[in-house]
Chain A
């Protein structure tokens, strides 16, 4: 199995051949420092279209920082980061906004606009990109049903449970049909059954050709996923991407 990671530490990569083609997100010797301390160091990775990755590591290892780099909430302090083949350093603020429309993100804390109903929150990426949600009402409703929130479409986000918020966040992340979905601990606040349900949604998206990256320290979730999909596991420890493609 070819590896899309170019890190020198990557065992699978040592086989010699890297996957060819255009990476959707590419990190080349990327480091990120904040307040004088280096949080991520010399990360190299190519996320290929349709790939499925788990990102593991202890709490505070830099998983969230890694994801924030991928959707350009943070900018590398050194190295090259290319998103959809464009170096982020050369992107304007509008370019960043356009890039984010092609990346769906499920945040750990699931931020919503609390004054808007769940359905409008889910449709928000369409709204901000200038598309009329009314014209896509049927698709939005189908999406809401797909994540099992049909009965909660008109309620306000504060009335949702943790699992429901995660599912609403997932629906919002995919409403634009993005090429990449990044999920930060998407099962952190939910029980096992709900985490399986969320995983199934992400696997289904991957089967549609989306690139999926899930940051998690839930090993059971990773095992469950690997039984169904060719998922690759990346590990961040000691500020570096130390391991990739290893079996658990």
Chain B
């Protein structure tokens, strides 16, 4: 059975040809340049991937969790506050789409305000509204209907489904995720460009070798393969080292905790840790394509 041409190229490349590899003289600086470029780009790619995945995770969490919670804020004279809060809880119990409703306790309110107003806050002396945390079912609440009912039964209540501040946060997180993927694309492009430059330099430095090989009957594919294999190997090794170091650096970042913010949550989770393993493979594929294109273009200019 005849294999497709690109598969033949790849299998030929993987199989290698010791003699073909030897026809190209060892190259000094281009070898180091390719190794370094692939390593550095893979290192950066790990961070870009981690950023994308983390922001994606954040966006999903914000979208999902915040979309399912809402707050009912009841502002009323002190003597009516408890009655309105109780009425609101009763109303919520009979509202479709409410999974649970819970009054925020005075102690929880104290804890929430402490970072801004200090620990000795006289909560009783302040007109603090009553807060009810509402968790929605997957089907969600008819917000307009609920607001209409609240206006009739609990006039001091304001229903806040967080949409006002949730939307820009989710949008920002999604944009960060997009920027992360764009960075990955740019890193891949830069790596391809650098390998093309290094391969072109190597091809130019070996113009006489290539000419000699052509004149004794070497086919373009044979000559190109000698360069392609060399640069692909270097990119693979360089990117493997860079990806390993990048992954280690991400793993050593402070771990997320309850007080952790976005930066401490930067990293992979679960099967996501396998993603950096793909980076050397992608780097090798980019090197294969870039070197092959550069080599065949150079060879086409020779007789």
A9 contacts chain B at the CB level, 8 A cutoff: no
A97 and B23 in contact (CB under 8 A), knowing A73-B303, A111-B211? no
Asked whether, in the complex, the Cβ of B209 is within 8 Å of the Cβ of A113, the reply is yes
Q: Mask for B244-284, Cβ within 8 A of A = 1, else 0?
A: 00000000000000000000000000000000000000000
Cβ of B217 within 8 Å of any chain A Cβ, yes or no, is yes
Closest to A131 in B: B19
Q: State the CA gap A112–B209 with chains docked (Å).
A: 8
Q: Which residues of B contact A107 (CB under 8 A)?
A: 215
- Complexed CA–CA distance, A115 and B25 (Å): 6
Nearest-neighbor residue (CB-CB) of B211 within chain A? A111
Q: Which of B20, B218, B300, B303 contacts A75 (CB 8 A)?
A: B303
- Looking at chain A's contact residues, is the secondary structure mostly helix, strand, loop, or mixed? loop
Q: In the assembly, what is the distance between CA of A93 and CA of B220, in Å?
A: 8
Which residues from B are CB-within-8-Å of A75?
Answer: 303
State in angstroms the CA–CA spacing of A130 and B219 once bound together: 10
- A128: interface (CB < 8 Å): yes
**Complexed CA–CA distance, A74 and B299 (Å):** 15
Question: Which chain B positions have C-beta within 8 A of A101?
Answer: 216-217
B149 within 8 A of A: no
Decide: A124 near B303, CB < 8 A? Known: A100-B216, A172-B216: no
Q: Is the beta-carbon distance between A127 and B23 smaller than 8 angstroms? A: yes
Q: Does A94 make an interface contact (CB < 8 A)? A: yes
B214 sits at the interface (CB 8 A): yes
CB distance from A110 to the nearest CB of B (A): 10
Interface positions of B from 124 to 161, Cβ below 8 Å from A:
none
Q: A111-B208, A127-B20, A128-B23 given as contacts; is B303 within 8 A of A97 (CB)?
A: no
Residue A133 at the B interface, CB < 8 A? yes
Across the interface, do B216 and A125 meet the contact criterion of CB distance under 8 Å?
Answer: yes
Cβ 8 A contact of B22, one of A73, A120, A132: A120
- Say yes or no: B212 contacts A125, CB within 8 Å: no
Count of chain B residues with Cβ under 8 Å from any Cβ of A?
A: 22
Looking at A75, A130, A133, A172, the one whose CB has the most chain B CB atoms below 10 A away is: A130
| Residue on B nearest A95 in the bound complex, by CB | B219
B216's nearest neighbour on chain A, judged by CB, is A125
Tell me, rounded to whole Å, the shortest Cβ–Cβ distance linking B226 to chain A.
10
Q: Does A137 make an interface contact (CB < 8 A)?
A: no
A129 is an interface residue with CB less than 8 A from chain B: yes
Assess whether A116 is interfacial by the CB under 8 Å rule: yes
Contacting B at CB under 8 A, from A53-109, are 71-75, 93-94, 97-98, 100-101, 105, 107
A71 touches B215 (CB 8 A): yes
Tell me how far the C-beta of B27 lies from the nearest C-beta in chain A, rounded to whole angstroms: 11
Task: Determine the chain B residues whose CB is within 8 A of the CB of A72 once the complex forms.
Answer: 303
Q: Within the assembled complex, what's the spacing in Å between the Cα atoms of A199 and B22? A: 32
Across-interface contacts of B222 in A (CB, < 8 A): 128, 130
Min CB distance B141 to A, Å, is 71
A125 CA to B215 CA, complexed, in Å? 9
Let me know if B26 is at the binding interface, CB within 8 A: yes
Chain A residue with minimal CB distance to B214? A97
Q: Give chain A residues whose Cβ lies under 8 Å from the Cβ of B211.
A: 111
Per the bound structure, the CA–CA distance linking A107 and B215 in Å amounts to 10
Known: A72-B303, A75-B303, A101-B217. A127 touches B19 (CB 8 A): yes
| Residue B213, interface by CB 8 Å | yes
In the assembled complex, how far is the CB of residue B300 from the closest CB belonging to chain A, in whole angstroms?
A: 8
B276-303 interface with A by 8 A CB criterion: 299-300, 303
Find out whether the CB atom of B215 lies under 8 angstroms from the CB atom of A93.
no
Least Cβ distance of B35 to chain A in Å? Answer: 21
By beta carbon, the residue of chain B nearest A111 is B212
16 contacts between A and B (CB under 8 A): A71-B215, A73-B215, A74-B303, A94-B219, A94-B220, A98-B217, A100-B217, A101-B216, A107-B215, A111-B212, A113-B209, A115-B26, A128-B216, A129-B217, A130-B222, A133-B19
Given A120-B22, A132-B19, 12 further pairs, Cβ under 8 A: A72-B303, A97-B217, A100-B214, A101-B216, A101-B217, A111-B211, A111-B212, A127-B19, A127-B23, A128-B20, A128-B218, A130-B222
A interface with B by C-beta (< 8 Å): 71-75, 93-94, 97-98, 100-101, 105, 107, 111-116, 120, 124-125, 127-130, 132-133, 172, 176
Closest 7 interchain pairs by CB?
A101-B217, A128-B218, A100-B217, A115-B25, A97-B219, A127-B19, A111-B212
